[in-house]
A = this chain, B = another copy of it.
């Protein structure tokens, strides 16, 4: 049973249009200040409806890639970093996955240390609950991955810095995409569960250094498995 991975859903038309426009900008085909073709013309050129163009433009407008002025037209702007962050998929394309994993690692070690310093009684209770839920789903791989991620998110909240927690959550979204391709054995699940137990212990006994060390060790393991699963970035 199970070797049936979920079928990746193809991107919707507005998403395709979105990436197409961003590609044009990235390749310098259209430059900041340029006047984009009208929505009607774009719709004709792409062979899609005007509403699809509009949905894409609305997104581009909000993330600052274009400026839309009623009656005048749509103009390309000097974009910031939002476009990159929104389109995580581009991160894998540009080979930033290992950097994202590394960033996640640093964030998580920091969050573990902070959690050990600041966790309230309620936080520790929440961690305990999450751990118990993880234990119950040890047999079911699918839900176990979710439960495992949940533990990390609860830990992030226990660090009592919402900005850091939100940033961590953003990176984790990407991690889940990558982790989906991993094959997880029951031993690995059990091992991870044990790590979580030790983490909870360190947090509960307010030992920041231990929490950080355990987390670092915990993530090193996961990272090794990950890079072993996809052997490509080797050699110089």
Contact = CB atoms under 8 A, between A and B. Distances in A.
Given A62-B86, A81-B167, A82-B86, A99 B162 contact: yes
Interface string A159-193: 00111101101111100000000000000000000
A25 interface: no
A126 interface: no
Contact of A81 (B51, B58, B169): B169
Instruction: Please tell me how many copies of the chain the complex holds.
Output: 2
A106 interface: yes
A142 to B, nearest CB: 17
Contacts of A163: 81, 91, 96, 99-100, 102-103, 171
Size class of A's contact patch?
A: 35 or more
Contact of A82 (B55, B91, B164, B170): B170
A226 interface: no
Given A91-B163, A171-B163, A58 B103 contact: no
Contacts of A96: 162-163
A63 interface: yes
Interface in A3-20: 14
A198 B63 CA distance: 34
A59 interface: yes
A110 B106 contact: yes
A54 interface: yes
